[in-house]
């Protein structure tokens, strides 16, 4: 039973969002009794790392961006910062497939807009007409309505169809594994919406910031790989470090929460399934699981909130990792990877040169490559059997990189319905969910369905939620504590 003197908090979900929330609760108030429930037998969610025959295999994400501060701030607080590796400075560029060949993405092209003229003029990725149409963006008036629109609509309206098809769509597909015709530009790329509002033109806004010295795009291309880092021992080092800092006996793995019920007075009762079912009374609960699972869990608590959560779309993706000898590959591998436009009609979303990006991912003379397959636009490919996923990746790599012979080692990881898709109207849907949650003291939510799908955004949402939990349990004293902590972090 929940004690009247010691508060209890349950976190449902042991991925990066749940771990960040649980760690932050304990960091702010070690006196709170903490329980973390995870359905799988291991923590980390999509973040998993293994080592085999000298290779470091990432089952999910293999780095995180530092342009958003929350991941780096957390690593500093838990002592992981000295273990963070930067990307190899000699190869900070990316490629896009153009008629079956890898072409360098123009330096300074930041997802949607160029910050430098000459690389765009010189690129073979766009036709002369495509380049001219892109340049016309400088002269186009800003959109007057404030209504949300799809990312594809926004880009085509500003830069034209060719820039969208050849550059923006593959870059966005590599980030969200999504369909830009469905994705909300307001939720996925809000800073570009603000650029249009404030400057009338994205090109004008980027050039203005660059001339003011606020741009960090010089010398980089594609997804700005110079701003990515990874723990030396793999991404699991982050989740393991968080788990190690939680109170002893606070973690329950292979313990799915199957029901949450509001208690008569205050707090919540959780019922777990698995091999050892139990009930736990807690004062507050953080639901940090994907939208569909959260929808089922909240169906009896609030049907409207449950319905809105169930309306959030998720995409599936599979990753085929292949290891080769370096002398099997003709391509120079002088970048960190490539993205594939849908109009190329290939069977992979992107390819990552993992052992080029970071040291220690492959033995000397070997190379580790990863192919991302599936996503919202090719969902059937993510469900291929393992051998077909490997064959697909090998065939694509062979054609694009000039590979001779078979891979030396292989691995497949699957991520069904794990990448939240922020469709047009997502912001309003999230506002409705937050409004419904406000009716239930002690009930909170985190996860990649809310404020971003990247690791820093998930950490930020988890920590913000934890701060709300502590404030709700401890009142003004904890609010002062949180404010002090936040000031220290800044």
115, 213: one domain: yes
Q: With bands split at pLDDT 50, 70 and 90, how would you rate the model's confidence at 481?
A: low
Inter-axis angle of helices 16-28 and 70-77, to 10 degrees? 50
* Same-domain check for residues 136 and 60: no
Weakest mean pLDDT among 87-91, 238-242, 304-308, 344-348: 87-91
Where does the pLDDT of residue 1 fall: very low under 50, low under 70, confident under 90, or very high at 90 and above? very low
- Least confident stretch, 61-70, 363-372, 467-476: 467-476
Task: Give the mean pLDDT of 186-207.
Answer: 92
Instruction: Confirm whether 464 is domain-assigned.
Output: no
- Asked whether residue 173 is domain-assigned, the answer is yes
Q: Is 383 exposed, middle or buried (0-12, 13-18, 19+ CB in 10 A)?
A: middle
Final residue of a structural domain among 197, 220, 243: 220
pLDDT at res. 486: 55
Which of 52-61, 213-222, 265-274, 450-459 is the least confident region? Answer: 213-222
In a domain, 36, yes or no: no
Same domain, 87 and 145: no
Give the separation between CA 368 and CA 346, rounded to whole angstroms.
21
Pair (84, 157) in one structural domain: no
Q: CA dist 175 to 33, 179, 317, 452, Å?
A: 37, 11, 12, 11
β-strands 64-65, 228-231 pairing: antiparallel
Residues 116, 195, single domain; the answer is yes
Position 270 in a domain = no
Mean pLDDT is highest, among 6-20, 77-91, 134-148, 269-283, for 6-20
At residue 173, the pLDDT reads 87
Parallel, antiparallel, or unpaired for β 55-58 and 337-339?
Answer: unpaired
Q: Are 63 and 126 in a shared domain?
A: no
- Cα dist from 348 to 83, 124, 146, 340, whole Å: 32, 22, 35, 7
**Residue 216 lies in domain:** 106-220
- Mean predicted confidence (pLDDT) in 349-377: 97
Residue 482 clears pLDDT 60, i.e. is over it: no
CATH code of the domain in which 344 resides? 3.90.660.20
Same domain, 149 and 68: no
Mean predicted confidence (pLDDT) in 243-259: 96
Whether 151 and 60 map to the same domain: the answer is: no
What residues pair up with 98 in beta bridges, in sequence order?
101
Beta strands in 61-112 (DSSP E): 64-65, 84-86, 95-98, 101-104, 109-110
Q: What confidence tier does 480 reach under pLDDT thresholds 50, 70, 90?
A: very low
State how far the alpha carbon of 238 is from the alpha carbons of 31, 78, 246, 323, in Å: 24, 9, 13, 25
Residue 116 inside a domain? The answer is yes
Contact 32, 7 (CB under 8 A): yes
Do 203 and 180 reside in the same domain of the chain?
A: yes
- Tens digits of residue pLDDT in 438-448: 999 999 999 99
Q: What is the pLDDT of residue 180?
A: 96
**What percent of the chain is predicted at pLDDT more than 90?**
83
Across the beta sheet with 8-12, the strand order is 251-252, 33-37, 8-12, 284-287, 443-445
pLDDT digits over 289-302, tens only?
Answer: 999 999 999 999 99
Q: Residue 333: what pLDDT?
A: 97
Question: Which pLDDT belongs to residue 312?
Answer: 97
In this model, does residue 427 exceed pLDDT 90? Answer: yes
pLDDT confidence of residue 263: 93
Nearest to 367 by CA among 326, 320, 411: 326
* Residue keyed to tokens 């961006």: 65
Specify the pLDDT at position 195: 93
Domain boundary among 167, 190, 220: 220
Q: Distance between CA atoms of 330 and 459, rounded to whole angstroms?
A: 40
Percent of the chain surpassing pLDDT 70: 93
Q: Is the pLDDT of residue 476 over 60?
A: no
Q: What pLDDT does residue 225 have?
A: 38
CATH code at position 196: 1.10.3110.10
Q: How many domains does the chain have?
A: 2
Task: Specify whether 333 is located in the same domain as 384.
Answer: yes
Taking only the tens place, the pLDDT of each residue in 208-247 is: 877 666 544 444 444 433 479 999 999 999 999 999 999 9
pLDDT of residue 223: 42
Query: How many separate helices (H) and strands (E) can be counted in the chain?
Result: 18, 22
Identify whether residues 87 and 156 lie together within a single domain.
no
Instruction: Kindly state whether residue 230 falls inside one of the protein's structural domains.
Output: no
End residue of a domain, out of 162, 196, 220: 220
Q: Let me know if residue 58 belongs to a domain.
A: yes
Residue entry with tokens 């349990």: 473
Mean pLDDT rounded to a whole number for the chain: 92
**pTM of the full predicted structure?**
0.92
Is 431 part of any domain? no
121, 79: one domain: no
**Average pLDDT of span 108-121:** 82
């Amino acid at each position: 039973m929940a004690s009247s003197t010691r508060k209890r908090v349950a976190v449902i979900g042991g991925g990066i969002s749940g771990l960040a929330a649980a760690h932050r609760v304990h960091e702010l108030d070690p006196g709170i009794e903490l329980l973390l429930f995870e359905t799988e037998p291991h923590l980390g969610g999509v973040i998993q790392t293994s080592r085999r025959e000298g290779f470091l295999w990432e089952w999910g994400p293999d780095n995180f961006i530092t342009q958003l501060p929350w991941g780096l701030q957390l690593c500093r607080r838990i002592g992981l910062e000295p273990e963070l590796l930067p990307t190899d400075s000699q190869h900070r560029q990316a490629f896009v497939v153009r008629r079956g060949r890898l072409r360098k993405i123009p330096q300074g092209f930041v997802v949607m807009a160029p910050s430098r003229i000459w690389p765009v003029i010189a690129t073979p990725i766009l036709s002369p007409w495509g380049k001219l149409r892109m340049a016309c963006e400088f002269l186009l008036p800003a959109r007057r309505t404030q209504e949300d629109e799809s990312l594809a609509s926004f880009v085509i309206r500003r830069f034209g169809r060719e820039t969208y098809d050849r550059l923006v769509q593959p870059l966005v597909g590599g980030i969200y594994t999504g369909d830009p015709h469905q994705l909300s530009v307001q939720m996925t790329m809000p800073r570009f919406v603000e650029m249009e509002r404030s400057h009338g033109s994205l090109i004008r806004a980027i050039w203005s910031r660059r001339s003011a010295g606020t741009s960090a795009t010089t010398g980089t291309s594609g997804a700005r790989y110079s701003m990515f880092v990874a723990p030396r021992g793999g991404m699991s080092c982050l989740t393991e470090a968080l788990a190690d800092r939680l109170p002893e006996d606070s973690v329950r793995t292979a313990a799915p929460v199957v029901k949450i019920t509001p208690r008569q007075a205050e707090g919540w009762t959780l019922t777990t399934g698995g091999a050892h079912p139990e009930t736990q009374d807690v004062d507050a609960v953080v639901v940090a699981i994907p939208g569909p699972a959260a929808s089922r869990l909240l169906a009896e608590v609030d049907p409207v909130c449950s319905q809105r959560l169930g309306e959030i779309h998720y995409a599936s993706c599979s990753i085929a990792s292949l290891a080769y000898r370096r002398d099997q590959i003709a391509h120079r591998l002088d970048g960190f990877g490539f993205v594939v436009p849908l109009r190329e009609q290939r069977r992979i979303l992107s390819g990552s040169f993992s052992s080029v990006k970071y040291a220690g991912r492959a033995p000397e003379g070997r190379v580790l490559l990863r192919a991302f397959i599936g996503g919202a636009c090719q969902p059937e490919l993510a469900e291929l059997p393992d051998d077909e996923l490997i064959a697909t990746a090998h065939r694509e790599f062979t054609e694009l990189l000039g590979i001779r012979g078979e891979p030396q080692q292989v691995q497949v990881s699957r991520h069904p319905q794990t990448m939240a898709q922020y469709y047009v109207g997502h912001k309003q849907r999230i506002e409705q969910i937050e409004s419904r949650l406000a009716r239930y003291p002690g009930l909170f939510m985190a996860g990649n369905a809310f404020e971003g799908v990247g690791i820093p955004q998930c950490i930020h949402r988890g920590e913000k939620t934890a701060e709300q939990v502590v404030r709700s349990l401890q009142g003004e004293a904890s609010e002062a504590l949180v404010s002090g902590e936040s000031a220290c972090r800044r």
